[in-house]
A and B are shown apart, each in its own frame.
Chain A
Amino acid sequence: MIRARVMISGDPVSMSLGADEIKLAIEAELAFYGLEDEVQVGFVGQLGRLDVLPAVVVYPEGTLYGPLRLEDVPHLVEEHLYKGRIAESLLAPPNVLSGVIARLPAREGLLRGQERVVLRRAGIIEPTDIEEYIAYDGYFALGKALSEMSPAEVLQTIKDSKLQGRGGAGFPTGLKWSFVAGQQADKKYIVCNADESEPGTFKDRLILEGDPHAVLEGMALAGYAVGADEGWIYVRGEYALAKERLLTAIQQAEAMGLLGDNIMDSGFSFHIHLHSGAGAYVCGEETALLESLEGKRGIPRVRPPYPTVVGFRGQPTVINNVETLANVAPIILRSAAWFKSLGTERSPGTKVYTMLGDVNITGLIEVPMGITLREVIAAYGGGMRDDVPFKCAQTGGSAGSIIAPELLDVPMDYATMREHGASLGSGALLICNVNKCIVDIAYVVMRFFETESCGKCTPCRIGTLRMSELLNRLRHGQASLEDVSMLEEMAQAVAKTSFCGLGQGAPVSILTALRSFREEFEAHAQGSCPTGVCPMKTEPPEVIVRRGYL
């Protein structure tokens, strides 16, 4: 009989830090004490605490140990698993919320474990074992839909739930599905956008690594609702482990008859394929993604027609983000009303964020929509690091807004953030303290867009380069006050005239930063960097032409 489970963080960071060897060492120690039959050892996905990797959780106590070195293993096994005492010296530093025993921040605190939706299983189940997914109600939503619900009912449930796309734009998922469901076509497709490339955003990777079947089940349900029998997952090229886990999951689901032909004798068939990206940021834009998926160069298409009408291979296509799809099965299994009981009225449900920057605890959290940034920092981030005051946060990666302290108490949901001229974005929270320079941040962000612009349209191709040059001049104290106004004008022009979301999102950080921190930009133009970060009064930067086609 198994009495304890040792779960080792199996994310790529932990792997590179030797999680493999730690697993082998734990197994060897268990064998030494003759405990191998009563203690199970396995990998899980990301555990939610990035500061303590490689980490190990021992159940049933739920004790979190880390960062663990190979030489710590004998002590851990002897103390906790042989003698049954908590190995105090190896405990992860306690989260402020949970007292003596360190626990996963996403599991404790404001949103209790059982109220999590997307990350309910991540960190608890073995992601490479389909039966563990089934043990936690996996594929029951699909079973329920196929045996008890019509496609129209599934669609209506998702509409009623008011689920919004979790990729950043917050478009109502049910509405998007109904556009495709209403099309007459021989072939329709479900595409999962897992090309998560926003700097600082890695929630989708952790969902795919920790609970891959949840996404597969969501895709199958979407297929049933809109009448598609084929799904494609476009995974960011760098996500090696996520791809491996997805492939395993697809194979297992097909072997069990939960994907493939005639699922559960219902007559409904659904096949899922995996496609790897090759590292272009623009391919996260849905039409560029479709181009890439069709084997062409990843550049955006003209919209309209939207992909819901003319999508993958010219057919009506639903394109949903990983997190969106992971929300689908819980809604079908429980109810739209239950989903609406979470979050805010206009944006129900939960949101997964990756939190990074100047806070004490960085990591992955799932919180109800409508929580304020102040709460997130205090409760999950463990406060600001070294108690240095908060200056700003960037939500949603490089294309996200700069959130000034005035917005710390604004409920974070799609609609409310929009009303305050900010966007919630894809789910990264980059927290900066007052020692960071806003011009420096804006420059780093713009460098990213300058490099990633696909070159199709002029405002984005040239605009990002010129803005990046201007910001660099500002950093060096080589720009005037007029240049600051020009920067603003340029940012507005690029935002308004760019062809796709990449160019439209590129100036967002500058525009939102100028709104709250204009004085700091102007101080640079007048020759001083208030935080002392920028290399002021040094040689003017060289103008480097990076592309042949300029």
Chain B
Amino acid sequence: MKSLAELQKIKERALQRKRLGGQNARARIIVGMGTCGIAAGARDTMTAILKELEQRHIEDVIVTQTGCIGLCEYEPIVQVQVGSEELVTYGKIDTARVPELITKHIQGGEPVAEWIVK
């Protein structure tokens, strides 16, 4: 250890690994993982989301799960909340839709209107 700058680097690296406190998160992605969601492929959707975030080095988004929200026919359901904006609920998010969802809503900040459950 030679300097504060070096310490700062370790801190950033360690924070990336840990970054689950929730306070610093810029956005939340919530995947519906009720039995209905899992049956419709929510597990694969979740894996795809985690993989995409990792590949794009997006570090400030937390991914959590929730149970059935009562819209089983739209499963897999994914909810996205950026900052303090309103929670957006998407339906039928299979693995193919994940990259676009992340590009547009998480990175671009614009919800994908046609997938939103109304």
Binding site for B on A (CB under 8 A): 1-5, 38, 59-62, 82-85, 114, 124, 131-132, 134-135, 137, 139-140, 143-144, 147, 256-258, 263-265
Q: Which of A5, A114, A137 contacts B20 (CB 8 A)?
A: A5
Chain B residues whose CB sits within 8 angstroms of the CB of A147 once the complex forms:
3-4
Q: Which of B13, B38, B63 contacts A131 (CB 8 A)?
A: B13
Interface check B54, CB cutoff 8 A: yes
Q: How far is the CA of A514 from the CA of B7 in the complex (A)?
A: 56
Q: Chain A nearest CB: distance from B107 CB in Å?
A: 16
Write the chain B residue with the least CB distance to A84.
B65
Chain A residues whose CB sits within 8 angstroms of the CB of B21 once the complex forms:
59-60, 124
* B53 close to A1 (CB less than 8 A): yes
Chain A residues whose CB sits within 8 angstroms of the CB of B23 once the complex forms:
114
Binding site for A on B (CB under 8 A): 1-4, 7, 10-11, 13-15, 17-18, 20-23, 25, 31-35, 38, 47, 50-51, 53-54, 62-67
Q: How far is the CA of A38 from the CA of B17 in the complex (A)?
A: 11
* A134 close to B2 (CB less than 8 A): no
Q: Chain A nearest CB: distance from B41 CB in Å?
A: 14
Q: Chain A nearest CB: distance from B23 CB in Å?
A: 8
Q: List 13 A-B contacts (CB under 8 A).
A: A1-B51, A2-B17, A3-B63, A38-B50, A59-B21, A85-B67, A114-B23, A135-B14, A135-B15, A143-B4, A256-B10, A264-B3, A265-B3
Chain A residues whose CB sits within 8 angstroms of the CB of B33 once the complex forms:
82-85
Instruction: Give the tally of cross-chain contacts (CB within 8 A).
Output: 90
Max chain B C-beta neighbours (<10 A), residue from A60, A84, A263: A84
* B65 close to A134 (CB less than 8 A): no
Chain B residues whose CB sits within 8 angstroms of the CB of A62 once the complex forms:
22
Q: Chain A nearest CB: distance from B81 CB in Å?
A: 13
Write the chain B residue with the least CB distance to A80.
B65
Chain A residues whose CB sits within 8 angstroms of the CB of B1 once the complex forms:
256-258, 263-264
Write the chain A residue with the least CB distance to B63.
A3
Chain B residues whose CB sits within 8 angstroms of the CB of A258 once the complex forms:
1
Q: How far is the CA of A59 from the CA of B67 in the complex (A)?
A: 17
Chain B residues whose CB sits within 8 angstroms of the CB of A131 once the complex forms:
10, 13-14, 17
Write the chain A residue with the least CB distance to B66.
A84
* B53 close to A2 (CB less than 8 A): no
Q: Chain B nearest CB: distance from A5 CB in Å?
A: 5
The 8 closest A-B pairs by CB, nearest first: A84-B65, A135-B14, A257-B1, A131-B14, A84-B33, A1-B54, A85-B67, A143-B4
Q: How far is the CA of A147 from the CA of B33 in the complex (A)?
A: 50
